[in-house]
Amino acid sequence: MKDMNRRKLLQTATAMTAGAVAGCALPVVADNRPRTPFEVAQITIPIVGSDLAFPVRRIYCIGRNYAAHAREMGSDPTREPPFFFQKPTDAIQNVAPGTTADHPYPSLTKNYHYEIELVAALNKGGRDIPVARALEHVFGYTIGLDMTRRDLQRAMGDQKKPWEIGKSFDRSAPLGPIHPAASIGHFTKGSIWLKVNGQIKQNANLEQMIWSVAEQISKLSEANELFPGDIIYSGTPENVGPVVKGDLMEGHIDGLPNLSVKVV
Ligand code: MN
């Protein structure tokens, strides 16, 4: 009898947790996530060699991570600690290797710039991650464009306002599928270039990065706790420049398939 009461109490408690009592907590499904009145898409990136997709939590980008690019942007790379900004996850435009993606010229800008970059994708989080262990947090890599409304970025900077409108807009992050580090290893050196209409515009080596991917993860984890699903754009080399409608951008990093994007 005592046991029966106890079981009934437990059942009641479970029902209350599940939100069966009006006016109590939000209804909760079995895995404790609140039920929502509509769905919001989980942004994902295809994973090479897998049916699974990589779920994206945050997009971090490092600024001025190649000395020559820092100089062309008007800053002194030798005295500047790394800094980061974010793009919204739905800025991602997935581009399949072997195809050319149509990329709409965005609103509000008259000076739309390419920045070709290595992108690291994390499947482990943490705080204050030491450099020596940072690469254990990397699931894989891809090649991406950090597309930038340069005129708006500069104008906001001049007014000491946030850059956001220049960097964090729809489809500002075209990228390829993620290649697991387990199969292709880590990227510390290798050619990185970008052609526009077949002409080389950016041409550098990953070893010229001021802060390596491991150092970026370590530094970033001092500012924010990192989580699985975070991706990091690792910065662009010098010679960024504009594209207009009709231009074809082809990006390359040694060891990854090229990225092909046409501005329309
Ligand atoms: Mn960038």
Judgement on whether residues 104 and 139 belong to the same structural domain of the protein: yes
Judgement on whether residues 257 and 161 belong to the same structural domain of the protein: yes
Which pLDDT does position 14 carry in this prediction?
42
Average pLDDT over residues 65-73: 87
Nearest-5° angle of CA 28, CA 31, CA 37? Answer: 45
- CATH code, domain carrying 257: 3.90.850.10
Q: How far apart are CA 260 and CA 248, in angstroms?
A: 7
Judgement on whether residues 151 and 251 belong to the same structural domain of the protein: yes
Q: What pLDDT, in 10s, does the model give residues 225-251? A: 999 999 999 999 999 999 999 999 999
Distance from residue 190's CA to the centre of ligand 1 (Å): 18
Q: How far apart are CA 232 and CA 252, in angstroms?
A: 17
Distance from residue 215's CA to the centre of ligand 1 (Å): 17
Q: What are the backbone angles phi and psi of residue 213, rounded to the nearest 5°? A: -55, -45
Distance from residue 124's CA to the centre of ligand 1 (Å): 23
Judgement on whether residues 28 and 125 belong to the same structural domain of the protein: no
Judgement on whether residues 24 and 107 belong to the same structural domain of the protein: no
Distance from residue 189's CA to the centre of ligand 1 (Å): 18
Q: How far apart are CA 141 and CA 45, in angstroms?
A: 11
Distance from residue 145's CA to the centre of ligand 1 (Å): 8
Q: How high does pLDDT run on average in the chain?
A: 90
Judgement on whether residues 31 and 157 belong to the same structural domain of the protein: no
Range of the domain at 16: 1-39
The half-sphere exposure of 109 on its side-chain side, counting CA atoms within 13 A, is 25
Token code pair at residue 71: 């100089």
Which pLDDT does position 19 carry in this prediction?
39
- The count of domains in the chain is 2
Q: How far apart are CA 186 and CA 140, in angstroms?
A: 8
Across the beta sheet with 112-114, what order do the strands follow?
148-149, 112-114, 241-243
Judgement on whether residues 1 and 81 belong to the same structural domain of the protein: no
Average pLDDT over residues 14-32: 52
Token code pair at residue 214: 């491991």
Judgement on whether residues 213 and 166 belong to the same structural domain of the protein: yes
**Rounded percentage of the chain residues whose pLDDT exceeds 90:** 81
Q: What are the backbone angles phi and psi of residue 193, rounded to the nearest 5°? A: -145, 165
Judgement on whether residues 135 and 223 belong to the same structural domain of the protein: yes
Distance from residue 181's CA to the centre of ligand 1 (Å): 22
Strands 191-196, 248-253: pairing kind: antiparallel
Q: What are the backbone angles phi and psi of residue 96, rounded to the nearest 5°? A: -75, 135
| Residue among 46, 44, 78, 43 at smallest CA distance from 64 | 78
Judgement on whether residues 78 and 178 belong to the same structural domain of the protein: yes
Average pLDDT over residues 80-87: 92
Range with the lowest mean pLDDT among 13-17, 39-43, 143-147? 13-17
Judgement on whether residues 239 and 145 belong to the same structural domain of the protein: yes
Token code pair at residue 22: 């009006």
| Residue among 140, 112, 115, 108 at smallest CA distance from 213 | 140
Strands 230-233, 116-122: pairing kind: antiparallel
Q: Work out the pLDDT band at 69, boundaries 50, 70, 90.
A: confident
